[in-house]
Structure 1
């Protein structure tokens, strides 16, 4: 097996504004595993508020390249157990795990969904992200969009803006990226009508969720607070929903286990994404038959997507029917 990796840049179609800052571009790292003319792909991106250093990832890949290339083709769960021993950051672990599932499926001539006997019909539509801007511009974007579900970004709580969004009577979620204070959270979970929002994502900074009450009107959803399998038990008294992202938890292999446990704990579940190309989005798409919400608009927000595979068109998940994750690079 051969390992190749390449640093790339993903350029956004327009400036993307969230509570953490404004972005026009994201650095990404493409992973390619190849064997017998089959190629598998994975991806991770540099997110500043996660303090991701892709240069350190490249250093790790060079350090362990010979060990990775020496592996015989085995079941992805076995390969994942090997990867865990290398003590890799979850973002890099995810890229390698997804790339291996892709090449394994292509060698077996079966899709990830076939290999894991997953549902693929009746998929819930994805939301598209509405960047921070004047509320009237946000509303105009919602009303003129061909998408049916929306995640509206905000920085702090503006009660008048909240009421304007609720009056639209659309499928709208709210994402403050940890910019709400305790008083904001109390108001939201006690304000009748807030339950019209699909969910309210990551209201407080990491580990500051104790003010949240899952019995209130707000469907609180954990994002940065929900990193791995172990966090699910701890968050249960506070959050109704969790956002599982492959890069956060370390790839498809652990994501399957997280979804299973989250179901057992009666969470509502979302498969989410970051700014990613179709490489990353294709990996997320294969899990959408298992969840209640999807937020897989990452590739729709960039102008230089370099891959083909599963995709999202006006919110509808279009699954590739090709083996593995169905990923191919554009020529």
Structure 2
């Protein structure tokens, strides 16, 4: 029999996290545990307010789950189909259940999740994200990312050029650019991308609003750099027409409803010739560890969401010299989890 336990949590950020359309100092998280026999599987839902999920919606969803319908945690497919059918939307809390079930599956079988999917563990060189601030502040944070090969720079302001000039005054490292839908003038965006291509920038993530299909199609065909879809790519069905608007996709477990559909999305994208990226929200080491299990399917890695927080309840998932080392620890790879100790960090005020 499967037993579900969950706890609300508030993940605090080291710095205010600014992107093109909002700023926040932390992220509501729902931590889940699914127990079977002597094994515990752990998962999480990271719920930035801009995506519409919160503690109330997550709790309501979890309270609808009836695990009495299932005797054991695998095969996963019928359980995940049941979870997905409980209610539309709710991708993050669905991901929490998916991650916990995968963790449980791996622990019961004694295999890492990447092994269960026939993948080879890689050393994943993740980018380090620098969110929007005054150009000089963003440049000063380059020093804090000394160990990382790649930097991800948030743009979408009226001083984007000055930001890149300031960053380039501090480092010549390759840059991933993320506008978070912050650009609206397609021709201006194309000219700016021409300039960015000369600044050792690797790609542009979601430059225009996700619903601007005409603009995205024009810009994709005009861009001097690859365009990666993020907000415009949520679940597997979005892969069908992705190549009309993007050169590649950014898969995040909190969008895809978890590991299973994230895997399917990455495989489908590669089959269609799309470039692949695996990313994250601001998350604990639990979701980062889960995402890392799929890292060998991605060309670009952006799994630093646990590194800019101050109260990761699981302790940092290993990231040494800017690299995540995925090993064969059963499940998603978390070690020495003390579920009971997490309770003292349940609200923002703590």
Common fold: TM-score over 0.5: yes
Does structure 2 retain, via aligned residues, the 8 Å contact 1:6–1:31? yes
Deviation at 1:110, TM superposition (A): 1.1
Render the CA deviation track for 1:221-254: whole Å, top value 9, x for unaligned. 1100001122123221221121100110111111
- Backbone CA RMSD of aligned residues: 2.1
Tell me, yes or no, if structure 1 residue 297 matches structure 2 residue 299.
no
Which residue does the alignment assign to 2:111? 110
User: Are 2:307 and 2:316, in contact at CA under 8 Å, matched by a contact in 1?
Assistant: no
- Matched residues, number: 328
What is the rounded CA distance, in whole Å, between the counterparts of 1:155 and 1:309 in structure 2?
Answer: 30
**Which runs of 4 or more aligned residues in structure 1 lie more than 6 Å from their structure 2 counterparts after TM superposition?**
none
Conserved? CA contact 2:138–2:167, under 8 Å: no
Q: Give yes or no for contact 1:129–1:152 (8 Å, CA) kept in 2.
A: yes
- 1:287-306: CA deviations, max 9, x gaps? 11111011111111111111
Which residue of the partner structure matches residue 68 of structure 1?
67
- Structure 1 counterpart of 2:174: 171
Confirm or deny: 8 A CA contact 2:112 2:328 kept in the other structure: yes
Shift of 1:210: 2.6
Match of 2:190 among 169, 186, 194: 186
Q: Is the CA contact 2:204–2:227 (under 8 Å) kept in the aligned structure 1? A: yes
Indicate conservation of the 8 Å contact 1:222/1:241, yes or no.
Answer: yes
1:256 aligned onto 2:259: no
| Aligned counterparts of 2:52 and 2:322: Cα–Cα separation in 1 | 30
Tell me the equivalent position of 1:146.
Answer: 147
Aligned to 2:345: none
8 A Cα contact 2:121 2:327, kept in partner? no
Spell out the pairing of 1:309-324 with structure 2 (5 A cutoff): 310-324=317-331
> Where in structure 1 are there 5+ consecutive unaligned residues?
none
With normalisation by structure 1, the TM-score equals 0.92
- The alpha-carbon distance between structure 1 residues 192 and 155, as it changes in their structure 2 partners (threshold 3 A), is closer
| Mean CA deviation greater in 109-118 or 311-320 | 311-320
Question: Aligned match of 1:273 in 256, 272, 280?
Answer: 280
* Range moving further from structure 2, 153-162 or 229-238: 153-162
Checking the alignment, whether the CA contact within 8 Å between 1:195 and 1:217 is kept in structure 2 is: no
1:180, CA displacement in angstroms? 0.9
- Post-superposition Cα deviations, 1:145-194, rounded to whole Å, max 9, x if no partner, equal 22221111123353344455467431111112111122432213444735
- Other-structure match for 1:57: 58
In structure 1, C-alpha distance between the alignment counterparts of 2:221 and 2:311, rounded to whole Å: 40
**Structure 2 gap ranges (5+):** 342-350
Q: 1:116 and 1:213 mapped to 2: Cα distance?
A: 32
Give the TM-score taking structure 2 as reference length.
0.87
Q: Contact 1:12 / 1:24 at 8 angstroms: preserved in 2? A: yes
